[in-house]
Chains A and B, each alone.
Chain A
Amino acid sequence: MNRRKLLKLVTMATGSALVGGNLVLNGCARGGLPENLGFSEQDLALLNEIAEIIIPRTDTPGAKDAEVGKFMAATVNDCYYQDDQDTFHEGLAKINEISREHFNTNFINAKQDHRIGLLAELEIEAREYEKPEGGTEHYFTMMKQLTLMGYFTSQAGATESLRHNPVPGRYDGCHPYEEGDPAWA
């Protein structure tokens, strides 16, 4: 089974598989502990902007409200192995590069519709990307997954975009669902 398919299965089984994290269930660690490259204040701001375009504020909080940038940085630092960290950091630089090339400014200063267009293009690129043998996932796949995970596991996301009930007290296996009701956190 290829890794992509495995990750999909893992996602189904656990609700979340961390791309880049060592969730490959064969017990082999990949490489040693890297020197964390770290994230600057500008990096964090950029991550927040990227995340906010993926999960924007609506009548519920957005990724920025949920401090998803900080979550992404912490996860890359604490959980990712060297090659995935490299890909992630290179991807972050690449996004600014593309922005400068097309819009003559860094991503964070580009117009909103330009930013959305850029990430929508990257989404398509990431979908078509075939992970090479021994290589890493596409950096945008990492960013999108971390955004979704960071948002929906945050207090803001879990309690306001989703429904959160710490102590249900009972179980109803045939509970009515009305279209539009949020999922349970």
Chain B
Amino acid sequence: MPDNNKYDAIVVGSGISGGWAAKELTEKGLKVLMLERGRDLEHGKDYVNEGKQVWDFPNRNQRTRKMVEDYPVLSRDYVLTEETLGMWANEKENPYVEKKRFDWFRGYQVGGRSLLWGRQSYRHNRMDFEANKKEGIAVDWPIRYDDLAPWYSYVEGFAGISGSKEGLDVLPDGNFLPPMDMNCVEKDLARRIKKHYNGSRSMFIGRIANLTRAKSDENRSSCMYRAQCWRGCSYGAYFSTQSSTLPAAAKTGNLTVRPFSIVTRVLYDKDKKRAAGVEVLDSETNETYEFTSNIVFLNASTLNSTWILMNSATDIWPDGLGSSSGELGHNVMDHHFRCGANGDVEGFEDKYVYGRRPNGVYIPRFRNVNGDKRDYLRGFGYQGSANRQGWSREIAEMSIGVDLKNEVSKPGGWRMGMTAFGEMLPYHDNRIFLDPEKKDKWGLPVLAFDVEIRENEIKMRKDMIQDAVDMLEAAGVKNVEGGDWGYAPGMGIHEMGTARMGNDSKTSVLNGNNQIWEAPNVFITDGACMTSASCVNPSLTYMALTARAADFAVKELKKGNL
């Protein structure tokens, strides 16, 4: 093995959690190799659609039949548009098998989906870490809120999360930049909701990884309110690997990034019971390389980290490294959503907004907390916004001509809408596995999916719709319509589980420090590690878990324990 293939640490993946792993490990002095299966994508320079106006897109940012043909999975939801084309995995080269429908939206490039994410950033609460144990669901988390709280504060501070402090147990406050503003309609509705529910329900501005104050020492400006984050932002105003963790890691001089590197397996040394490194298939040359290291962080995205384990150490465990508990690949979770309500808000005709806020409002969970008891477990939160309608609204009277043109050139009435994000329980039977037949472009086995929402989620969805209708009506919104706009697992783009943390190697894949029980120098800190899902957007929790695990890993390394 040539020396130039040896590192202190290997980080597999360059998305939100991989970027954090690379930053933390390099800053603590380790020589780190970051492997990314997709292409390089340089901050600023490679944001090819940034700054384009809608008329600059060949089909005005709609989707063509060709795009639908090329991206049949992406085409199932709003994500397939001209502006982000080229920032999603090539579906023909990277197939997967749907025993049941699963919408897997993958970002294969340096930065991964950190470039494309929704940026909503919330802490899990105390209850989220205790509910499995109290309710006898799956297994208990091996950590509690207090274990993670300082790490939440740490990552919030560096990533730059703007938000308001609300003093709620159900949604703990954090280390926030000043909040963005609600608009005047949202403020009014928030007041009415608070009053109607005697303070037991509240609505406030989303907590989001967009800067409301510049971080000049990191070359990051505050948000310009263009609302086109997903095209990339050369102001560095939202958290991404490129804007935030990658420059920090690069600055140490300890980082090497290798794109076009598909990690095919973790190399396992069965005598030492440690990983020796990883095997890489160069996706361009088809050549295979081995890289060695003292520790390995798997941050390949939830389902791909597990895919790597399933292909590793199969001579010892036929189902892969970490499979001895029988839980590897099981307990797939997402957030089920796409149901809620919307309606018309009367008045406020003399009010409008200036700027395009890339954020909405949030209503934290109120079901099955504070004495409330439903016929299902857990709960949901709402995300929504109020806006004046634009030219695409329906105009009943003025059909064609000057009157139509004049009318739709002006803003329409205000509308308020919201959709719920519900917690999905970890079911052993919701699983992924290696398909025995299908192979990808490189001849590698692909994942098969057998995941569905079950009775608990279906019952919850009734409340997710009805509570939205009731709250909007209580707040004085007119013509309120509730709806279920259809959900399939994966659509939340919050894949979680398949290599869960736990207290016992017989029932979990990872311990409380995100180490694989059978290979303690391998850490998984992306969504695969999640023991339960909470109902809040998960990325901030991956950041905190990653920073915590990296700190632990380096301490253990120094003690000679890894």
Contact = CB atoms under 8 A, between A and B. Distances in A.
25 contacts: A8-B394, A27-B76, A27-B488, A29-B72, A33-B69, A54-B401, A56-B401, A62-B405, A78-B59, A78-B65, A79-B65, A120-B399, A149-B392, A153-B61, A162-B409, A166-B51, A169-B225, A172-B355, A173-B181, A173-B186, A173-B353, A174-B353, A175-B352, A183-B388, A183-B412
Interface of B: 51, 53-55, 58-66, 68-69, 72-73, 75-78, 101, 103, 180-184, 186-187, 223-226, 342, 349-357, 388-394, 399-402, 404-406, 408-412, 415, 417, 483, 485-486, 488
Interface string A144-166: 10001110111100100110111
| Chain A contact residues, majority secondary structure | loop
Contacts of B54: 153, 158, 185
Interface string A70-98: 01001100111100000000000000000
Q: Which secondary structure dominates chain B's binding surface?
A: loop
A152 to B, nearest CB: 4
Contacts, number: 191
Given A29-B72, A167-B224, A158 B55 contact: yes
A123 B53 contact: no
Contact of B224 (A13, A29, A74, A169): A169
Interface stretch (A15-23, A37-45, A129-137): A15-23
A15 B349 contact: no
B486 A25 contact: yes
A149 to B, nearest CB: 7
A2 interface: no
Contacts of A80: 65
A165 B354 CA distance: 10
Contacts of B485: 6, 9, 25
Contact of B342 (A12, A33, A150): A12
A79 B226 contact: no
Interface string A81-117: 1000000000000000000000000000000000010
B59 A75 contact: yes
Of listed B64, B184, B409, residue having the most chain A CB within 10 A: B409
Contacts of A172: 181, 353-355
A161 B410 CA distance: 9
Minimum-distance CB pairs A-B, first 5: A173-B183, A168-B355, A171-B355, A177-B352, A27-B76
A180 B410 contact: yes
Contact of A15 (B53, B69, B350, B390): B390
A175 B406 CA distance: 21
Contact of B354 (A56, A75, A175): A175
Contacts of A33: 65, 69
Nearest to B61: A153
B351 A177 contact: yes
Contacts of B224: 167-169
Given A53-B401, A56-B405, A168-B355, A148 B64 contact: no
Interface residues of A, number: 72
B181 A171 contact: yes
Contacts of B51: 166
B225 A123 contact: no
Given A120-B400, A177-B349, A170 B225 contact: yes
A26 B73 CA distance: 10
B410 A27 contact: no
Contacts of A123: 399-400
Contacts of B77: 25
Nearest to B356: A168
B407 to A, nearest CB: 10
Given A8-B394, A11-B392, A27-B75, A154 B184 contact: no
A173 B388 contact: no
B357 A71 contact: no
Contact of A153 (B55, B187, B411): B55
Contacts of A13: 78, 417
A55 interface: yes
B205 to A, nearest CB: 9
B341 to A, nearest CB: 11
B355 to A, nearest CB: 4
Contacts of B488: 27
Contacts of A23: 63
Contacts of B412: 183
Contacts of B356: 168, 171, 184
A28 to B, nearest CB: 9
Given A168-B224, A182-B409, A183-B391, A12 B417 contact: yes
B404 to A, nearest CB: 7
Contacts of B65: 22, 33, 78-81
Given A79-B62, A171-B223, A173-B181, 6 more contacts: A15-B392, A22-B75, A25-B76, A78-B59, A79-B59, A172-B353
A33 to B, nearest CB: 6
A161 B405 contact: yes
A169 B69 CA distance: 38
A26 B76 CA distance: 6
Interface in A35-63: 53-56, 58, 60, 62
B45 to A, nearest CB: 19
A120 B397 CA distance: 11
A153 B82 CA distance: 14
Nearest to A16: B392
A53 B78 CA distance: 32
Contacts of B59: 74-75, 78-79
Contacts of B225: 168-171
Which of B187, B349, B352, B488 neighbours the largest number of chain A CB atoms within 10 Å of its CB?
A: B352
Most A CB atoms within 10 A — which of B65, B78, B180?
Answer: B65
A79 to B, nearest CB: 5
